[in-house]
Amino acid sequence: MSGRRKLAITVAALLAALAFALVDQFNAARLERNPSPVSQATGASDRERYHQGEFFVTGVVDGDTLDIDALDGDKLTTRVRLIGVDTPETKKPNTAVMYYGPEAYEFTRGLADGKRVTIWLDSMGAARDRYGRLLAYVRLPDGRVLNEELLAEGFAYAELRFKHGSLQKYEQLEASARRARKGLWEQVTEEQLPEWLRKRNPKWLKAFAERQKPADAQRL
């Protein structure tokens, strides 16, 4: 093979390598501007699908969990976990029914089951929890927010493990229910609190135990 031909082949190979590199860079930039469908299936698409949308509640799973009539992947309904609240468990696998769990379930069922509600997503954090449930506020037909009603009437604990936009307000709602001894706060004991709540600041637990004493004992 002549030297001139070898040079031509070498130049052609270099040009081909350069062309492939340019194509790769172009595709990388295009994907960055236009993510694939898989990468788009995140909180942004959830916000577009659900935020401020109206849906029928097809069923209540627990005091803080319900299903709405919206397709979710291969599921006929979307499971919604009420953001900012934690009601006592009634159906969690390998967990006994907790104190005031059935009451919280019936409260939510009475307010929301079969009703047309409005879903609001929070601007902080992810749109889904680790179980794939949609994290949301649920506005009832009469304008009340289900999350807030659960706290105000003493059917739920304010969720303090995860940040959300209503954290301070929900702490205050829980505190007001505690002071008034509404719902579960009338007789709940330290042992009946959720595990995560029992691990809170020892000063809070001491103050809680003091408040839960009968009124005559507090006067002693």
Which structure tokens are listed for 98? 């907790």
Q: In this predicted structure, what is the pLDDT of residue 26?
A: 41
**Residue 144 above 50 pLDDT?**
yes
Ramachandran region of residue 56, left (φ > 0), alpha (ψ -120 to 50) or beta? beta
Alpha carbon 81 to its chain centroid, in Å, reads 5
Query: Are 81 and 134 contacting, i.e. CB atoms less than 8 angstroms apart?
Result: yes
- Paired strand residues for 75: 72
Say if 13 falls within a structural domain. no
pLDDT band of residue 22 (cuts 50, 70, 90) is: very low
Say if 22 falls within a structural domain. no
Q: In this predicted structure, what is the pLDDT of residue 92?
A: 85
This prediction's pTM: 0.75
The residue type of 14 is L
User: Would you list the DSSP string of 97-135?
Assistant: PPTTHHHHHHHHHHHHTT-EEEEE--SSS-SB-TTSPEE
**Number of domains within the chain:** 1
Say if 15 falls within a structural domain. no
Say if 95 falls within a structural domain. yes
Domain hosting 149: range is 43-214
Say if 24 falls within a structural domain. no
**Residue 184 above 70 pLDDT?**
yes
What is the pLDDT of the chain when averaged over all its residues?
A: 83
The catalytic residue positions are: 81, 89, 133
pLDDT band of residue 16 (cuts 50, 70, 90) is: low
Say if 103 falls within a structural domain. yes
Say if 29 falls within a structural domain. no
Question: Closest Cα partner for 121 from 44, 56, 62, 63?
Answer: 44
Q: Which CATH number fits the domain that encloses residue 138?
A: 2.40.50.90
Q: In this predicted structure, what is the pLDDT of residue 8?
A: 55
For the stretch 66-122, pLDDT in tens is 999 999 999 999 999 999 999 999 988 888 899 999 999 999 999 999 999 999 999
- Whole-number Å distance between alpha carbons of 78 and 58: 10
Say if 85 falls within a structural domain. yes
DSSP 183: G
Q: In this predicted structure, what is the pLDDT of residue 77?
A: 98
Alpha carbon 17 to its chain centroid, in Å, reads 48
Helix/strand/coil for 70: coil
